[in-house]
Each structure stands twice: as C-alpha cells, then as structure tokens.
Amino acid sequence: MKIFKFGGASVKDAEGVKNVLSVLQKVGHEDVLLVISAMGKTTNALEVVIKHYFEKSPELKASIQEVRKYHNQILLELFEDDKHPVFRAVNVHFEELDYFLSHNKSPNYNFVYDQVVSYGEIISTTIVSHYFNHCNMKNNWLDVRQFIKTDATYRDAIVDWEQTHKLISKNVKKKALNITQGFLGSDENNFTTTLGREGSDYTAAIFAYCLNAESVTIWKDVPGVLNADPRYFENAVLLNQISYREAIELAFYGASVIHPKTLQPLQRKEIPLFVKSFINPLLPGTRVYKGADLEPQTSCFIVKKNQLLISLSSIDFSFIMEENISEIFALFHDYKIKVSLIQNTAISFSVCIEDKFGNFPELKKILSKKFKVSYNENVSLYTIRHFTEKAAQMVEENKTVLVKQISRETLQVVAKE
C-alpha cells in the first residue's frame, strides 16, 4: 500500500479537489490510503470561531457561517445537483459543531480547540470522498479517530502506538482507495485530539508504519524539498534526494516541508518518503531514504519567525548551575515551551523559544521569583546547515545579531530584522 498526503493548499477550492482526482488518475489509486487536511485556511477560520466562543462574542454565529459559506461554494462548484447526498452529509457535521458549542461545559481551551478545529478535516474528506465516488473513483471514507488512539494531551497528543497499530492493521481495507483525515486522533473517552499543527504528515507516517507501506508521498505546491523557503530566500534549489538523518535535522531546525515527527516511524521501517508537486505530479520530486552519503551539496537555510529570546541571570550573581538549568527546563516542559537554541555563561542563561500556546507571560511570573528575566520579542532564528562564509554573511546582512552559534555543520543566528 502507498500512503498519499494532500495538504490544505491542494484542496483549497473546487479546482484543487478536481486536481487531486487528476493526480490520482495519473499516478494510480489502487491500494492507496489518502490523508487529507482541512481545506485552505479552514483551521484558521475555526480558530476564529473558538476565539468568539470563549469571548462570548455576538460574532460567533457569523464566523461559523463564514466557514459554512466557504465549503458550500466548493460543493456547488463540484456537484451540479444540490440534492446530492453530500450536501446533507456536510450539513450534519455543521449541526454537530453547533450542538457541541451550545452544550459544551468544559472551560478547557485546548479541549474545545480540538473538538472544534477537527471539523475542518472531517468536512474536507467528506467532500473529497463524495466527489471521487461521483466521478466513479470508488473509495472508503475512514474516520481516523477510530484508528489513531492517543492520550488526552489536547492540541499536541501523544500516540498510543500499540492500540493504534492493532486498529489500523486489522481494519484498513487493502487493495482499495481509502480516504481519511490528517491531524486527528481520539483519547480513551473518544474525545477528539489533535497531533499538533501540520500534523497531517505525521498521520501519513503513522498509517505507513502500521501498514508496512511501500512509501509515503507528501503532495505540495513546491517541486520537492528545497534548500530554502522561497518566501524568504531567493534562488531556492531542489534537493533531489536526502537521507533520513538530514531530513530529521532540517525538520528539527524548523524546515516547513516535513513535519518533525513524521520521519522517525518511517526511518524505523526504512519506508521511503517522497515530496512531490501536485501541480506537476509526474516530476520525480525529492526522495528521503536510508543512506549516509545523501547530504545536500549546498547550504540549506531555515528561518523561524516570531520567536522569543529569553535571558535569565542570577539575582545574586551566583553561578547558574546544573540544578538551575534542570529546574528551568522542567518549567519549559510544564508550560509547553519549545526550545530552539541554548547559550549560557557563568551567571546567565539564554534560550530562543517558541511559545505556540501563549504560556510565556505566566511562565515569566514564576521565573522572575528566582531570576532576573529579560527578553526580546518577535526575533527570527536563522539556521544554515552546511554553511559557508558567504551564506552566513547573506543571513546576517542588515540585521541586528543577538546570538550566534557555530558547530561543524550548522550555523544559528538569532536576529532582529
């Protein structure tokens, strides 16, 4: 079996859905499991719904209606007959969403977040599955929440591999086209969980691991893995093939093409990963597989925007020792703070962090009891793998460099634009 993953950009409108059908007609669709994300910017739109819900805003209904309108427009362009069963199927999902928002008693933001944003994927795959059947591409729609079981860490759930493996290996139909959702799972009480933003790639890897898949292909609007994000760097070039190790390094530093958790399960079973273009599906793209000699022959650039650079120093000028650092990292773990870079001196400790859950203000209060806390907001972290002097100069040009670290192969710079 092959696993294909299509992200939100590939199904952002009716033409996109038609193109996914066309891609499958060109590359084959028998014995394929399709993992599909929410359409376009639906997740962002549902985040607005959640914001209005918690603010008890009068705009709540209007924000839900925006999401309905967007999907209804796609339906009307895909199906000539508005009596087609897909219209009712999608409407049922919106009714479920309305019911949840009017009956929920939990004040837990992360719990509510997962129950609400999940409708993006559920509705997206419902539309795609019905359209494929409409075009005589028969398929099975699977609710991924019945297959991927997790703990109850809402918004960043941890997979229960043993249970998930049993459910997937026993229940996924082989020699057929299966369509399911990325990003989602469910906990032991069958409440929806999510695997972290951009977690659909990880979903594809989970299914690949459990099904001993032949390969995983991530279909994107770029020709493959590039050595730099073309939004921020000019003259980006395609990396034709890279090792798992190199891909994991790039993902760890924040490369957006491959989700960081995607590669580990694939590497364990040596399942190759392809990153290809849904615009030109017959091009070879990038192949990620086992091999020590697959390092890129060019510098690779990664930038993470909207980071925080925090400097902690001892109030009484005493050394910051191992026990202090251990305590600080325990707090980072408790507050779900992702650390991207560390630098310390005798009496200070600096970290570049990503605060995706908005927990830093609360954490700062706790840290301030023991340390002097200073920080820079909205900094950018630049990472260059296989750096050269020329590459370093290009990144540092016209920026205020706050921290710079160099290892054998990697240069990292925290800078203000």
Both tokens assigned to 326: 């251990």
- Which residue in 220, 225, 208 sits closest to 270, CA to CA? 208
Q: What is the pLDDT of residues 233-242, one digit of tens each?
A: 988 999 999 9
Q: Give which of 239, 228, 245 is closest to 289, Cα–Cα.
A: 245
pTM of the full predicted structure? 0.84
Q: What is the C-alpha separation between 407 and 172, in angstroms, rounded?
A: 45
Q: Give residue-wise pLDDT tens across range 260-317.
A: 689 999 999 999 999 999 999 999 999 999 875 666 778 999 999 999 999 999 888 7
pLDDT level of residue 68 (50, 70, 90 thresholds): very high
**What is the pLDDT, as a whole number, of residue 324?**
86
Burial class (CB in 10 A: 0-12, 13-18, 19+), 183: buried
Tell me whether residue 268 is exposed, middle or buried, using C-beta atoms within 10 angstroms of its C-beta: 0 to 12, 13 to 18, 19 or more.
exposed
**Residue 197 known to bind ligand:** no
Rounded distance, CA 32 to CA 29, Å? 5
The C-alpha atoms of residue 136 and residue 130 are separated, in whole angstroms, by: 10
Provide the pLDDT for residue 303.
Answer: 94
The domain ranges of the chain are: 2-220, 300-416
Q: What does the pLDDT read at residue 245?
A: 86
Report the pLDDT value the prediction gives residue 255, as an integer from 0 to 100. Answer: 77
Q: Exposure pattern of 377-405 as b/e (b: 16+ CB <10 Å)?
A: eebbbbbbbbbeeebbeebeeeeeebbee
Q: Provide mean pLDDT across the span 192-204.
A: 90
Tell me the C-alpha distance between 1 and 95, whole Å: 35
Instruction: Identify any residues that bridge with 403 across adjacent strands, giving them in sequence order.
Output: 414
Q: Structure tokens of 377?
A: 């907001």
Task: Judge whether residue 257 has pLDDT over 70.
Answer: no
- Estimate to the nearest angstrom the gap between the alpha carbon of 410 and the chain centroid: 24
In three-state form (DSSP H/G/I as H, E/B as E, the rest C), the secondary structure along 371-397 is EEEEEEEEEEEEEEECCCHHHHHHHHC
Class of domain 2-220: alpha beta
- Looking at residue 251, its pLDDT comes to 81
Model pLDDT, residue 361: 95
Q: Is the pLDDT of residue 118 over 90?
A: yes
Any idea which of 96-100, 105-109, 190-194, 369-373 has the lowest mean pLDDT?
369-373
Fold classification of 300-416 is VC0802-like (3.30.2130)
Distance, in Å, from the CA atom of 353 to the CA atom of 339, rounded to the nearest integer, reads: 4
How far CA 237 is from CA of 280, 286, 302, in Å, comes to: 16, 11, 13
Gyration radius from the chain CA atoms = 23
- For the chain, the average pLDDT equals 94
- Which residues does 123 contact at the CB level (< 8 Å), separation at least 6? 38, 39, 42, 71, 90, 93, 94
